[in-house]
Every structure is written in structure tokens, then in C-alpha cells.
Amino acid sequence: MTSSECFPPALRSRITGSILACALGEAAAGSPDASVFGDATALTLYTVDGMTEALEWANDGVAADETACLWLAYLRWLGTQGEAPPSSAPAPPARWIDRQDVLHTRRHSDAASIRALRSGEMGSRQRPLETDDDGPGALQRSAPFGLIANVPPAMVEKLTLDAAAITHGNPAARIPAAVFAGLIHAIAHRELSLSDAVAEAAAHAAALGSTDLSVQLTSPDAGALPTASPTAGNILCEAIRLVLATATDDDAAHVSAFLAAAAEQDAPAARVTGAVAGAIIGALHGRDVLPAAAIDQLTGARAVEELAGRFASEMGA
């Protein structure tokens, strides 16, 4: 019997585990330095902070536009990368995350996200930006939507699609993000098994009109996908394949096997794949089984955990 069967991880553990394992997976994958996370984790953390701000307003009894909060958060992230939108865009006040040195490292940032944010316009499903880009820029930052407590799957889907559209107008970029968040929600809140959550994700992709993604998710462990096309859908499927391929009956062993497998990845999108897979594994197994040595080695681990803790606290977790 596994530890998860005896003691299912508490919600706070799943929230922190998902966000922290995202960073560990990205740091481990495709890099000789497993102490440094990258673009996917940084944007995930700014998603966390944007949603935390919206929750803070709500908990104070003030209605807030979640998508606007996220846009402002992503504009603050843009500043950490040495970029600036035109003067017509708002200048959001700094928050705690913006004072963390680890978030000011220049990364190989998603080009579509940079272009959309630098335009000064907030993209939406009605006013799409970057309509030709089907890459993982929105996918890689969407795990936190699946971690939000006390909302139905339909709200998770809406939040994710609206947030993705801030920078990515192509449905091929937005739909995998929503399917990914839905998968995280199924695991973290409804405690579905990994196999059941993946089957539900395939049905979700079909319902959103992505037949190709649905077919890929129906047999995600059939083998590695072509690396020449790092689309959002392919990367999501490859991340799920990595999670399934390393699964064992022991939670801690699963995490360790995943990190070892992630370190062997050398595809161009390996780090994004590692981040997405890490978010899934962390939501599945929780914070407590993540290897202490890997956390100790991770630059900025304290900041990651602090942000995850603030997010969880605003939700009462």
C-alpha cells in the first residue's frame, strides 16, 4: 500500500508541492545546473501572485477582475526581464515577488509572451494577440489555475482560457493550457488517480474542439512525441508521458525517478516539459515527498515556497 493511499496529501501540500515541483522539474531538465529554474517557473510564480492579489481583494470584500490582476502581474514579470511596455500601459505597483532577486534573472523568455506584453494591449478571446503562435507560453504558466480551491471545473477552464488569451490568441496555444489546468484540478481537488485524470483530460480536449490533442491524450504513454514540433499540445502530452513512464507504487520514488528522467531530456523544450510534468507530480504527491536535497540545491526555493504559502493561505488551505 502506498503512502498516498494511507494518507492523501492535504490541499496545502498539493498546492505547494505542485508549484515547487514545477521549479524542480524545470531546473533538472535539459540543464547541467539543476539549481536554477527558468521561464516556465517564473511565469508560474507570477500567475500565483496575480491570483493571490485577486484573492486578497476578494477576501477584503472588494470585487476584482482576475484577468486584469494577471495582466498586471505579467507586466511586472516583463520588467524583471529588462523589457517595458509602452507608456500607454498601466504601471502596476511592486509587490513582494518583485523584490526577490531570483526573479530578476534574465531568461530565455517565451518570445510570444514578450511581444504581446510589450505591445501594451491586454489580449482577450475577443481581441486576440499572437494568433500565429501555438507554442507553450500560456501552457507553462497555467498550473496554478488548477490549484484554486472552491471553484468548479468550468471556472478553472474560464480563468485559464482568459489568462492564456492575454498573450496567446491561437486556440492551439490556449486549449492545452486549459486541459493542463483541468488535469491539475482533477488531481489536487477531486483526488482522481493519474490515469483517470488523464482520461478526463482527453475528453476535455475533445469538448474544447481539439481532436488531435484528445487522440494524443488517449494513449499518452505510447512513446515519445516528435521533438521537432514543440507545440503546446505536444509538450503537454510529452510531460504526461514522462509522469506515467516514471510512476511507481511509492510516491517519493516516483518523484526521484521523474527528476532523474527529466535530467536526461535534451529536446529544445525539455525545460518546459520538465516544469509541466513537475507541476502534475507535485499536485499528485504533495510537498512532503519532494527530495530535500533537490530543494536545498534549488536557488530561490524559499521564495517559491513563500509564494505558494501565501496563495494557499488566501484560499484557507
Q: Is residue 53 part of a domain?
A: yes
CA–CA distance from 186 to each of 139, 239, 269, 302 (Å)?
A: 17, 16, 25, 27
Place 2 in a pLDDT band, splitting at 50, 70 and 90.
Answer: very low
Q: What is the pLDDT of residue 208?
A: 98
Q: Which range among 144-153, 213-222, 247-256 shows the weakest confidence by mean pLDDT?
A: 213-222
- What are the angstrom distances between the C-alpha of 132 and each of 20, 145, 231? 31, 24, 12
* Amino acid, single-letter form, for residue 41: T
- Within-domain flag for 226: yes
Question: Each residue of 92-105: pLDDT tens digit?
Answer: 999 999 999 999 98
19: CB partners within 8 A, 6+ apart: 44, 45, 48, 143, 144, 147, 279, 282, 304, 307, 308, 311
Residue 2 within any structural domain of the chain:
no
224 within some domain: yes
Number of domains the chain contains: 1
Instruction: Work out the average pLDDT over 242-256.
Output: 96
Which pLDDT does position 228 carry in this prediction? 54
Q: What is the CATH number of the domain that holds 266?
A: 1.10.4080.10
**Domain span at residue 305?**
14-127+137-314
**121 is a domain residue:** yes
Residue 47 within any structural domain of the chain: yes
Inside any domain, residue 199 = yes
What integer best gives the mean pLDDT of the chain?
Answer: 93
Does 1 reside within a domain?
no
Q: Which residue has the higher pLDDT, 63 or 107?
A: 63
